[in-house]
Amino acid sequence: MAWSKSRQSCIRNDDQQVKAETNMAVAKLKNRIGMAGRLTTQRLAYSLGVLFVLLIIVGILSIATGSEHVGFSTVVRVIAAKIAGRVADVSQEHSLIISDIRLPRVLMAIVVGAALAVAGSAYQALLRNPLADPGILGISSGAALGAITATIFAEAVPISRPVAAFAGAVLTIAVVYALGQGRRGSGTERLILAGVITNASLSSIVIFLVTSASGARQRNVLSWLIGDLSGESRLLAPVALFVIVGIGAVYIYARSLNLMMIGEEEALALGVETRRVKVAVYLAASLLTGAAVAVSGAIGFVGLIIPHSVRLVGGSDNRLVIPASALVGGAFLMLADTIARTVVAPRELNIGVITSLVGAPVFVYLLRRTN
């Protein structure tokens, strides 16, 4: 007994040791990349600069990778030529693969990843819960239902899908919010629960609609539903516009959100127009979710893991978390899509499978930690 006891205390010490070492390592990392201390304009610019370079590198890497391998320099030359409005001196085939197939897809991954990550960070701040995410709250399902309804009734109108997805997202957050409202304001656990329930019922309606569809169409819709970046490149421009507007709208209220993360009433007493912030940010986050879901289906967990990782390294100030999440979310989704394209080549895996495989354990980890 005595032995096992001492062993136990040894194990506990080991744990503490590991924890202390991890903390030290994180602190060192923060110092190295200039993320320690209070957020200032310089620190923000520096951090975003570093992340932007990372985004570009991952982008070039993603374009270079695929069934037909293209050299790094070729990618750079083709894109540089495209920006300058010239034709690069590389083979016709490579030029075509890069600019017509892989570049739009990579750009779409950036747009969708940024949208989902920022939507996640916005919901987390509003609901004062680091576990909030468009998928977990059922908002992605609402958007998916909207998008599918649009596909069934108004397939000919190309913009109808993102608009209907946005409407679906807004309606869903309204329902979830109303359900989550207790007698004494909204408990965040209650809200998450309301989201889970809403998600379940919306998903069943979605599945019903999908199973009623026929043959090839069913397979397409199903594949889109799990999360798929392969189609819809014609929607890139309008969706990118939606996403830029949405991120901008959330960013305006970044400082207000910092206060609302601590408490709504206290934020009000400190001068935040909480009602306006709530309406604007809920709408903007729903716009982001709707836009992302309309083109790529319900890609889960991006809104959860990206803001969390950003906070872990860069702190919780939303003036950094929001733009940094956009950049990291874009890079993450490009990477996930590259894996999805290549890991079972020549076939493609749905990108939603990859993000869920990474995201679910992170969710469990977060859940255990926030207890």
Contact pick of 32, 38, 86, 368 for other proteins (by CB under 8 A)? 38
Count of residues that bind other proteins according to CB under 8 A: 35
Specify the amino acid at residue 205.
I
Q: How far apart are the first and last CA of the chain?
A: 31
Q: Are strands 185-186 and 181-182 parallel, antiparallel or unpaired?
A: antiparallel
Decide whether 71 or 248 has the Cβ nearer to other proteins: 248
Q: d(Cα 341, Cα 105) in Å, to the nearest integer?
A: 11
Decide whether 93 or 266 has the Cβ nearer to other proteins: 266
**Using the rule CB under 8 A, is 4 a contact of other proteins?**
no
Q: d(Cα 207, Cα 218) in Å, to the nearest integer?
A: 10
The stretch near other proteins (CB under 8 A) out of 147-155, 204-212, 232-240, 257-265 is 257-265
CB of 219 to other proteins, least distance (A): 42
**Using the rule CB under 8 A, is 371 a contact of other proteins?**
no
Decide whether 248 or 361 has the Cβ nearer to other proteins: 248
Decide whether 219 or 276 has the Cβ nearer to other proteins: 276
The stretch near other proteins (CB under 8 A) out of 6-14, 139-147, 268-276, 346-354 is 268-276
Residue 193 CB coordination number (10 Å): 14
- Check if the beta carbon of residue 64 is closer than 8 Å to that of residue 344: no
- Name the packing angle between helices 72-84 and 41-64 (round to 10°): 110
Q: Take residue 97 and report the two structure tokens written for it.
A: 């693969």
Decide whether 311 or 341 has the Cβ nearer to other proteins: 311
**Using the rule CB under 8 A, is 364 a contact of other proteins?**
no
Residues 6+ apart with CB under 8 A from 212: none
CB of 40 to other proteins, least distance (A): 6
Contact pick of 74, 95, 149, 258 for other proteins (by CB under 8 A)? 258
Q: Take residue 47 and report the two structure tokens written for it.
A: 């951090």
Q: Which residues on adjacent β-strands are paired with residue 181?
A: 186
Contact pick of 101, 252, 353, 358 for other proteins (by CB under 8 A)? 252
Q: Take residue 186 and report the two structure tokens written for it.
A: 């909204």
Q: Take residue 145 and report the two structure tokens written for it.
A: 């239902």
What sign has the CA pseudo-torsion 122, 136, 233, 155? negative
Q: Take residue 126 and report the two structure tokens written for it.
A: 């509003």
**Using the rule CB under 8 A, is 319 a contact of other proteins?**
yes
**Using the rule CB under 8 A, is 14 a contact of other proteins?**
no
**Using the rule CB under 8 A, is 121 a contact of other proteins?**
no
**Using the rule CB under 8 A, is 279 a contact of other proteins?**
no
**Using the rule CB under 8 A, is 266 a contact of other proteins?**
yes
346 prior amide bond cis, ω within 30: yes
Helix (H, G, I), strand (E, B) or coil at 232: coil
**Per-position x/- string for 166-205, each x denoting binding to other proteins as judged by CB under 8 A, each - no binding:** ----------------------x-----------------
Residues 45-104 that bind other proteins (CB under 8 A): none
- Name the packing angle between helices 160-180 and 274-296 (round to 10°): 130
**Using the rule CB under 8 A, is 136 a contact of other proteins?**
no
Report the 3 state secondary structure along 20-33. Answer: HHHHHHHHHHHHHC
Contact pick of 88, 272, 305, 306 for other proteins (by CB under 8 A)? 272
Contact pick of 61, 128, 179, 226 for other proteins (by CB under 8 A)? 128
- Check if the beta carbon of residue 340 is closer than 8 Å to that of residue 309: no
CB of 319 to other proteins, least distance (A): 7
Q: List residues binding other proteins (CB under 8 A).
A: 37-41, 125, 128-130, 188, 251-256, 258-259, 261-263, 265-266, 268-273, 311, 315-317, 319, 370
